[in-house]
Every structure is written in C-alpha cells, then in structure tokens.
Amino acid sequence: MKKGFKLLFLGTMSACLSLTMLPQLCFYSAKAETISTEEIGSNSDLKTELPNMDSKSIETEEKEAKQAEEEEQKAEVAKKQAEEEKKAAEVAKKQAEEEKKKAEENKNAYNIKMTAEDRANLYRLVQSEVGYMDEKSKLFVASVVLNRVKHKSFPNTVTGVVMAHNPRTGVYQFSPVKPGGRFWNCEASKETKKAVDKVLKNGDYSKGAVAFVAKKYTTAKAAAWFDNNLRHLFHHNGQDYYKYR
C-alpha cells in the first residue's frame, strides 16, 4: 500500500515538472531554430555575394593579363624595330666604309677620277711598255700617261689616253695597244702595280714629260720629230722623255 502510494506520488511530480519545463524547452527550441535560420540566411547571403566577388576577380585578372600581353607585344615590336634600325645602321656604316675605301683607292696626286678599268689599263700599259725594265722606267711611263690626262691636248681619262690613236692612219699613241699588241695579252706584275700606285700617290716623277721614245726601235724621221717639236728632258734606260715647249 505504501509502495503503491509512493510510485503514484513520484509519477504525479514528474508530470508536473514536465509541464513546468515545457514552455522553457519550447522557447529554447524556437530560439535555436531562429539562430539556425539566421545562420542559414547569413550563409545564403554570403554564398550569393561570393559569385559576384569571384566574377570581379576574374575580370580583373583577365584585364591585367590582356594588358600584360599588350605590353609584351609592344615590347616585342619595339625590340624588332630597334634590331631593324641597328641592322640598317650597320649596313649604312658598311656602305660608308666601302665608299671611303673606294675613295681612298681612287684618290691620287693628280686629282683625276679613275675607274677600275682606268687603273687596270694603266697597269697593263706600263707592263706592256716597260714591264721588263727597272722601277724608274715604270715610274716615268706611268707619269707620262697621267700627265697626258691633265694636259688639254689629250683625252681627260686614263683609258682615253691609253687607247688614243689616229683613225685615219691607224697609228696608236702607244704601240703595244694596237690590235694584237702586247697590251692585250699581258698581266701586270706586282712590281709594276707597286710603281704605278707610287706615282698615283706621290705625283709626277718625270719632270712633266708627256712623251717618250726608244729611238733605237723607231725610224730616224720619227725620232727627229720628237727632237724638233718637243723639249727633251732626260734619257733613261734606252728611252728619251719629252714635254711640250
């Protein structure tokens, strides 16, 4: 009887406590649900904002990448342009050096323009006339040719002087130049070229001579013409040199 009463009492008390605490539990449960909902809402807002932030970041990166690419392209163009300008400058420098070298080669004490053909013909003429003789003979003959170029009575180019002849009589000013002569088959030696270049550099070695003759190889009449019409300067190695009176 007592045990039954005790169990009934405990059951009644438990029911009362449950009813007393129920509002509080409901409050805490509602509060927790509210907090959870707020957190979800906050997270949803965050998730909603993140895509916008990611989009802006991507656009910025793309813009920066494009700018970097454009800068790189500009740098490449500038580099290429600089290389082309450098190459052009090198070409211009080389051309200037070649022109300077050519001018130095063509520069001479007589101040006459000489082409490669003029120089070659002068070499060959001296070789064909006195190639077997000493240096002085070569200096004198080269001087005669160049003195003629400067004289008003003769052509004003080396080649013109070398090739000069009388079309009517067929007589050449320099006999080796006639058709089939030594001039056409000879090659100037180093010694001959050296002597000719020496005259071109230093000027006349012949006291102004414009003619020479080897009297033992010509007629008495031809030899007499030189003596009667020109001024004799000197004799060297079998040849007599003359200038106008």
How far apart CA 77 and CA 85 sit, in angstroms, is 12
* Model pTM score: 0.63
Query: What percentage of the chain exceeds 90 in pLDDT?
Result: 65
Task: Indicate whether 233 and 210 sit together in one domain.
Answer: yes
In a domain, 110, yes or no: no
**Alpha-carbon distances of 41 from 34, 44, 46, 85, rounded to whole Å:** 10, 5, 9, 66
What's the total number of domains in the chain? 2
Asked whether residue 46 is assigned to any structural domain, the reply reads no
* Residue 5 falls inside a structural domain: no
Same domain assignment for residues 160 and 81:
no
Residues 235 and 124 in one domain: yes
Expressed as residue numbers, the domain containing 207 is 116-244
187 Cβ contact partners less than 8 Å away, ≥ 6 residues apart: 124, 127
Q: What is the pLDDT of residues 144-200, one digit of tens each?
A: 999 999 999 999 999 999 999 999 999 999 999 999 999 999 999 999 999 999 999
Domain contains 79: yes
The contacts of residue 179 (CB under 8 Å, 6+ apart) are none
Judge if 207 and 101 occupy the same domain.
no
Same structural domain for residues 127 and 210? yes
- Residue 240 has a pLDDT of 98
Judgement on whether residues 141 and 206 belong to the same structural domain of the protein: yes
